[in-house]
Chains A and B, each alone.
Chain A
Amino acid sequence: MAAPESGDGNNGAARMVTLISSDNTRFEVEAAAASLSQTLQLTILDGGGGGGDGIPLPNVDSATLSKVLEYCIKHAPAAANGGAPNATAVDRAELERFDNEFVNIDQSVLYSLIMAAHNLEIEGLQSLVAKKVADMIKGKSPMEIRRTLGFPDPTPEEQAEMNAHMLEYGWAYE
């Protein structure tokens, strides 16, 4: 449960803010959840995003923003507790399960999430999506990495360079 905001006159009700995606879809979320974004935090602290106004996010489309907010809503209570010192093992396991499912997504969505997490400066999400990409790369050969990330196949010159590299530094891959 998000902590009630003081100063807005709503007794016990969490303060809501409106975020506007690049395709003009409006999302109303608790300020506590939106404040996971370092980019938005100051604006929200200054009282922005409430009432009829919204905070425009020209770099984030609605599909991505909804996904980002899904993450923020789930992680806001733990963040409000200053990390998760008070969280039970069940809570932590639940968050972990959520995170695992959250990044089980298509590459294009993952890419959009990386960009959004970067733009909005959401530390936990940045780390989560980066870990997912790292997991996609981990333990793969250079050619497999190319295919995973959709890089074009190497030209003969690049291939020769890679072979030479492997000859010289092959020990490092063992």
Chain B
Amino acid sequence: MDELLEEFEVEMQQQYMGMEGIDLDGISDSDDSGDSSESDEDEDPRPPPPQYPEAIVDAVLAYLPPMPSASLIAERPLVQLIPCARRAVWTALPHEAIKEIFRHLPISDLLAVGTVLDDAGWYQRWRDVDLTLHDRQIRHGSYKDIGHYIHLHGGVVRSLRVDKIFHSRKSSQLVPAATYARGDGSN
């Protein structure tokens, strides 16, 4: 250990001597009589301490999710740079994921969303398969809404399957969840 320290000191001294011996063209001549204290400060022989740009570290830390449970902490380095692009490209969502999102939207919102998502290709992709409306969607709509909705988007009712029946709060009317298949648009 001592040997290592000695070696390190010798190396530092050599570096220091080497820097003193540097011929600074055009500067050394005039500096001889100038303010030596200032030039001594400029020529600090010590290597600069490692600089970690705060902005980058902060960005990386902000980018990482909160640390998970204890069993995972040991496996994760404190800070790591992740090379992949993590931008939300909603238009690239897989079809199943889009369907899952639509399942959580009431009919009224599906109608509103349709025009926007059509541009992104979501809507078309959803229409290309059998359309399943779940009870949680129908709960927010009426038969009239659903009928309009299907007709509006070129569908006809091919089949009706009751998944679940429940009583609505106001009228105790039976409201089934239904499965429709997209038709050819000819009503």
Contact = CB atoms under 8 A, between A and B. Distances in A.
B72 A70 contact: yes
A23 B96 CA distance: 26
A67 B93 CA distance: 19
Contacts of A70: 68-69, 72
A32 interface: no
Interface residues on A, range: 35 or more
B120 interface: yes
B76 A151 contact: no
A126 interface: yes
Interface residues of B, number: 45
Contact of A130 (B77, B80, B90, B101): B101
B80 to A, nearest CB: 7
B76 A22 contact: no
Contact of A114 (B72, B97, B112, B113): B97
A108 B88 contact: yes
Interface of B: 63-65, 68-69, 71-72, 75-77, 80, 82-84, 86-91, 93-94, 96-97, 100-106, 108-109, 111-113, 115-117, 119-120, 145, 148-149, 152
Interface of A: 22-23, 25-30, 61-63, 66-67, 69-70, 73, 105, 107-112, 114-115, 117-118, 126-127, 130-131, 133-135, 137-142, 145-146, 149-151, 154, 158, 161-162, 165, 169, 172-173
